[in-house]
């Protein structure tokens, strides 16, 4: 992948949609979440035309703080999974990222400053002032390799009006398969955390 990746989604859309572009502004993924599903199922396409399905993301539980989300390629191959750390994620978002067919987490996602998310969420609920909340607070999430504790990717919210904008920057070594799994994990994090800021 050609990092940094830029992500954007409309705040007022009926169904969440995320557009992912690379450093050359070429489409990487287009994500569309289905409405009114008891069990999460998200389709990830190569671009906005939705002509080529890249993978699906499906939860293993209907409603649970510690649900795990599995990435399955269009050809049925396992691409890995991500799981929220249950009650530990109430204050500071914490997720584990698993390699394909693995129950031991290889990476973790941590929220760097939970106060930024709280401020962003709180001000976003105030009429008129909420329009400008996206300019004041910028939550950040770092992906680290568990074996070394070194950062690999960082997701940062950017200033934006009427839409969510994020950037994914690469800091450490990761192979192509890991980059795909980590990027899909960060997409899932955005969908899960956007209602919390």
Residue 196 confidence (pLDDT) above 70: no
Question: What is the pTM for the complete model shown?
Answer: 0.84
Cis link prior to 4 (omega < 30° from 0)?
yes
Across the strands, what pairs with 109? 95, 143
At 162-175, the pLDDT tens digits run: 677 899 999 988 99
CA distance 162 to 57: 26
**Look-up: residue for tokens 């190569």?**
46
Average pLDDT estimate for 77-83: 94
The pLDDT-based confidence of 197 (bands split at 50, 70, 90) is very low
Instruction: Kindly report the average pLDDT of the chain as a whole number.
Output: 82
Average pLDDT estimate for 107-123: 70
Average pLDDT estimate for 46-70: 86
Residue of higher predicted confidence among 131 and 61:
61
User: What percentage of the chain exceeds 90 in pLDDT?
Assistant: 49
The residue among 47, 45, 43, 42 whose CA lies nearest residue 21 is 47
Is the separation of the CB atoms in 82 and 189 below 8 Å? yes
The structural domains of the chain, ordered by start, are: 5-196 (2.40.160.200)
Average pLDDT estimate for 54-65: 80
Is the separation of the CB atoms in 107 and 143 below 8 Å? yes
């Amino acid at each position: 992948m050609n990092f940094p990746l830029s992500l954007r989604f409309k705040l007022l859309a009926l169904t969440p949609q995320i557009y992912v572009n690379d450093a050359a502004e070429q489409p990487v993924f287009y994500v569309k979440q289905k409405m009114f599903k008891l069990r999460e199922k998200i389709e990830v396409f190569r671009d906005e035309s939705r002509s080529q399905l890249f993978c699906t993301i499906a939860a293993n539980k209907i409603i649970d703080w510690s649900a795990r989300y599995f990435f399955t390629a269009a050809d049925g191959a396992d691409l890995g999974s991500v799981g929220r750390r249950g009650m530990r994620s109430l204050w500071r978002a914490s997720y584990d990222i698993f390699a394909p067919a693995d129950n031991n987490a290889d990476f973790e996602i941590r929220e760097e400053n939970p106060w930024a998310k709280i401020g962003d969420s709180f001000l976003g609920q105030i009429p008129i002032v909420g329009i400008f909340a996206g300019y004041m607070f910028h939550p950040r999430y770092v992906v680290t390799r568990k074996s070394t504790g070194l950062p690999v990717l960082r997701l940062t919210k950017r200033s934006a009006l009427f839409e969510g904008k994020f950037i994914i920057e690469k800091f450490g070594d990761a192979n192509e398969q890991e980059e795909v799994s980590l990027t899909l994990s960060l997409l899932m994090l955005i969908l899960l955390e956007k209602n919390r800021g």
